[in-house]
Amino acid sequence: MTVTEYVIPLGKNARKRHRHETDRGKVTGFTVQLEVYVNDQWREVIRYDSAHGFAHIDRYYLDGRKVKKELNLKLNEALTLADEDIKENWKAYQKAFLEGK
């Protein structure tokens, strides 16, 4: 099994944390999340992962709420979606999070 992990700064007070595992080229698990620095701590905003045995997205709110949505995708497809979505939409996600939306 091979594990790949990295953190990419996206802008002021925002970063993307990426981790995925592969076995012989096949994705066996992953987590990709947008984190925002607010109130002296890094907070999750959007997290795509394969915990609980299926690909899903968790959306976090400043007030502590969390909403989970299942993705009906293979793990490699969900991993690609996660990277692309956060890369393209992180500013909007950060703004909505900070505004409590």
Question: What pTM value is reported for the model?
Answer: 0.92
Q: Which residues contact 35 (CB under 8 A, 6 or more apart)?
A: 14, 15, 16, 17, 42, 43, 44, 45
* pLDDT tens digit sequence for 31-41: 999 999 999 99
Q: Quick check: helix, strand or coil at residue 1? A: coil
Q: What range defines the domain where residue 17 resides?
A: 2-98
Cα three-residue angle 99-61-74, rounded to 5 degrees: 125
CA dihedral 95, 89, 39, 47 (to 10 degrees): 130
Residue carrying structure tokens 């996600």: 93
* pLDDT tens digit sequence for 13-69: 999 999 999 999 999 999 999 999 999 999 999 999 999 889 999 999 999 999 999
What number is the average pLDDT over the span 62-79? 95
